[in-house]
Structure 1
Amino acid sequence: MAKITAGIATSHVPAIGAAFDQGRDQDEYWKPVFDGYEWAKEWIKDNTPDVVILCYNDHASAMMLDIVPTFALGFAEEFEPADEGWGRRDVPMVYNNTDLAGHIAEQLVIDNFDITIMNQMDVDHGLTVPLSLMFGRVSEWPCKVIPLAVNVTQFPTPSGERCWQLGAAIRDAVACFPEDLNVQIWGTGGMSHQLQGPRAGLINPDFDNEFLDKLIDGTDDLRKITRLDYLRESGSEGIELIMWLIMRAALGEKVEELHRFYHVPASNTAVGHVVLKPLD
């Protein structure tokens, strides 16, 4: 049977992708950021999954503002890196495991999630930057990837509780897939940041580190954080952290923290990263 063996959470800052692509990862400014991923890059060499379910948000690359699904599951055979205005990133094509994706979609509908199916979409930095951070420069990604896009840009956004329920439903779906697969689930985005308005550049390390602490054994509190709470405490883009809750719920009740990293700043964003192992 398929099994979720690990969960990874990471920021997906586009400037990190640009620094990576331009070979600036050893620059004085960027080196501390990339060094924070070295442990995970070594760990994943011995723990490479067959499939990653990758929770991210589209940044008006594949889903323009006329169509904004709450949860969208990638169903195509392959996904090309998106052109976000300065050309496509020079990273590999993303290939799907459509058998598992189809199974998850069916089980989610049975569990009363009206999931949107995306038969065609390009994937932007929200998905490709985490892959680069974990796998480095490669000619092809070493695993299949099922994109799960979450609306965190347009009202109404899903609640933390609803994202938690989705993660739990994904866990159940994977557990009843008959093929023997090593599956990881990644939650991306965040941490605290605001890109516009009078509070542009806002970063809240206290909020971020409390979130990281509670991601282990204080998840009841995290599920109760409202959209307004995120806005006040972590900036207008801090809502991306709800995607970490999908990852966390998919791991079950108890987890072990294998690695944690937090750094301020990268561009105008707080970078957070954790590797978790389910214990049940």
Structure 2
Amino acid sequence: MGSFVWAAATAHTGAMMRLPDGGADEARAEQVFNGFRTLASSLKAARPDVLITIATDHFLTYGYEFLPIFSIGTGDRFEGWGEFGVPKRDYKGVAPFGEAVQNGLVAAGFDAVGARDVKLDHAFSCPLQLLLRDWDVPILPVYINCTVAPLPSHARALAFGRALGDVVRTQGVSQRVAIVGTGGLSHWVGTPQTGTINTGFDRRFLELFTSGRLDEIAAMDSDWVIDNAGNGAAEIRNWLAAAGAVNAKGAREIAYEPVAMWNTGIAVTEILS
């Protein structure tokens, strides 16, 4: 039987591997990094056997020729792409745990693809670099399509997370499980609006998330979110899945900063269950 010993949700961008040089952005970036240091410390103290990492992909591992809605890494090792300025790093996995999670999710009605040799882009590697800066723990990469329509609804992502949590609590491979969902918040990628940060959206989202009002987030129209907070904000699905897995009662906001050089509203939270 497994139990969750730690849970978090964070924004990310590959650009955050570069520290802004001076000005307000540098101070904002330092607050973000301090937030990740806080999370890294609490994660290490939780002594997990495995860290479930829920993220997406940016046309490196998955593309139009093969694009699952959900996939589960079922291997013993996951190679990082090392793109977009993120240092290349590979991660250990726990194959029997990945297989148990995939089997359990399929039995629960989620046709999650098993991806034994899945490679990880900055959606995974960027937050992991910051959370595992000077130590290591095996990971389970969980992919949700947040990039190319048709996307799973926010409600479906939340239901997926709740099913994932049920599977973790009933499997017998890994006892102490940590989980992080990562992506967003407001940012536009590859559009004329790139560089825009909607702090109003970010603040409203964080208000709902930290107070545990997940069903209200899940009810948000996907097109409305993308129109108002950018195509990168589609990644709030990963936050919903992580929070759903641990039956979150809320979350603690550790940091939120709109960093102009990173073109992204960056938040760091620890989920409370």
TM-score relative to the length of structure 2: 0.90
Instruction: Indicate the residue corresponding to 1:269 in structure 2.
Output: 264
* Map 1:221-260 → 2, pairs under 5 A: 221-252=216-247, 254-255=249-250, 257-260=251-254
Letter in 2 for 1:177: Q
Q: Gaps spanning 5+ residues in structure 2: where?
A: none
Quote how far apart the aligned CAs of 1:42 are: 2.5
Q: Which has the larger share of helix?
A: 2
Q: Unaligned 5+ residue runs, structure 1?
A: none
Among all aligned residue pairs of Structure 1 and Structure 2, give the percentage whose two residues are the same amino acid. 25
Q: How far apart in 1 are the matches of 2:171 and 2:191? A: 46
* TM superposition shift of 1:241: 0.8
Q: Please show how residues 1-280 of structure 1 align to structure 2 within 5 Å.
A: 1-17=1-17, 19=18, 24=19, 29=26, 30-84=29-83, 89-91=87-89, 93-136=90-133, 138=134, 141-179=135-173, 181-215=175-209, 216-252=211-247, 254-255=249-250, 257-265=251-259, 266-278=261-273
Secondary structure class of the residue paired with 1:187: strand
Name the SS for the 1:36 alignment partner: helix
Q: Is the 8 A contact 2:75 2:95 kept in 1?
A: yes
TM score, norm. by length of structure 1? 0.88
Per the TM alignment, residue 197 of structure 1 is displaced from its structure 2 partner at its CA by: 2.8
- The structural deviation recorded for 1:166 is 0.5
Which one-letter code corresponds to 1:217 in the other structure? G
Counterpart of 1:89, as a letter, is P
C-alpha displacement of 1:83: 4.4
**SS of equivalent residue, structure 1 residue 186:** strand
The one-letter amino acid of 1:99's match is: P
Q: CA deviation at 1:90?
A: 3.6
Q: Is the 8 A contact 1:52 1:186 kept in 2?
A: yes
Matched AA of 1:153: T
2:137 counterpart letter in structure 1: C
| Contact 2:186-2:202 at 8 Å conserved across structures | yes
CA distance in 2, matches of 1:249, 1:118: 23
Distance of 1:27 and 1:67 partners within structure 2: 42
